Amino acid sequence: MELDQRKMRILQAIIDDYIMTAVPVGSRTLSKRADFNISSATIRNEMSDLEELGYLEQPHTSAGRIPSSKAYRLYVNNIMQRAQLTEAERRAIRAYLFARTDQLEVLMRQTANALSDITKYTAMVLPPQLNTVRIKHIQLVLLSKERALLVLVTDAGIIRDVMLRVPSGMTAGDLERLSNRLNKILRDKRLDQMAVEEIASMGVEIGEQRLLLQSALEALESQVKKTALKVEVSGETNILNYPEYSDMDKAKNFLQALNSEGNLYQMLKRASTLEFSISIGQENEAPELSDCSIVTATYRLGNEPIGSFGVIGPTRMHYSRVLSILEYIQLSLTEALTDFIEHDQE
């Protein structure tokens, strides 16, 4: 037995219907559709076959049938066609993303808001992973007799800084010499290669300032890491609007899974090697999300994929629509980010 033309059509109809209504689909419902000229009995036979093939499931004997993960997978891979966004939706997305800001974090939140607002699912955005970005410039600035600022500029135009205390004898000239040494060693290194140990190798040249610089660079490193970890989430409560989460315990589990630090980060990080990814039900690594689907996309800075974002919702997800939205946001965000950096560098 195989998936012939008609079985395919029936399966698609069931999936479409179920995605819209969340109600198990019965044979009579389908046979009544104008574009089906087959009796309910025939459809029942086909549905029985489809169940045997693993594409349909029955919650209980006297209910209709619902698509299995396998069915969604087939749908996503072979049947589904890209939905078309309305002009209003495009405008809304652009309005979110191109609201001027001078903080990267705000841009990320805007993206998350756009995503959750348009899709009505829960949105998450992984901020740019700066590890692959290169160090362009490091500078030590004397702020007062005892304090200095270590400023780091990357080729992505993003800066980080950290305050440090210096021995009170130090002059601006001393610091400049130190800066120069640092630059020589660290320039063009990737952030994740900014090995603190290298400072040690500078030996006597920086003398007693070694410890000082070492701890400053460590602080800088941890700052870069921490902001890279902070996944922006929006629309957590959207899930409560879907009937599959009207059960309190399910809803609670879902919300707690969202909040458990690292969970989303891991997922987005893993997904950030793929232009798009769709993970359905049990395909998810996290067992507590095994009745969810997750769809993600990456965004770029220049040509480099540098972060990812996506939505998480019931397996009964409007995949085609979500994919189109992700695609459009991918485009817009890449653009907005380029804008952002350029504006920042002005």
Give residues in contact with its own copies (CB under 8 A): 102-103, 106, 137, 139, 141, 143-144, 147, 149, 151, 153, 159, 161-163, 165, 219, 222-223, 226, 236-237, 240, 246, 248, 251-252, 255-256, 259, 344-346
Question: What Å distances lie between residue 152 and 101, 140, 155, 157, CA to CA?
Answer: 21, 9, 10, 10
Closer of 3 and 92 to DNA (Cβ): 3
Q: How far is the CB of 229 from its own copies (least distance, A)?
A: 11
**Interaction with DNA in 138-167: which residues (CB under 7 A)?**
none
Give pairs for 16-20: CB < 8 Å, separation 24+: 18/66, 18/67, 18/316, 19/316, 19/317, 19/318
Q: In the range 64-103, which residues lie near DNA by CB under 7 A?
A: 64-65
Determine if 196 is a binding residue for DNA (CB under 7 A).
no
Site for DNA contains 53 (CB under 7 A): no
Which does residue 190 touch among its own copies, DNA, none (CB within 5 to 8 A, set by kind)?
A: none
Determine whether 163 is exposed, middle or buried from the number of CB atoms within 10 Å of its CB (0-12, 13-18, 19+).
exposed
Closest to its own copies by CB, 43 vs 292, is 292
Task: Answer positive or negative: Cα dihedral of 200, 201, 204, 207.
Answer: negative
**159 by DSSP, 3-state: which?**
strand
* Binds DNA by CB under 7 A, chosen from 7, 9, 16, 40: 40
63 binds DNA (CB under 7 A): yes
Instruction: Give the helix/strand (H/E) hosting 178.
Output: helix 172-186
| Chain centre to alpha carbon of residue 292 | 15
Residue entry with tokens 């209504």: 21
Residue 45: name its binding partner from DNA, its own copies, none (Cβ under 5 to 8 Å by kind).
DNA
Q: Give the binding site for DNA (CB under 7 A).
A: 23-29, 37-42, 44-45, 47-48, 51, 58, 60-65
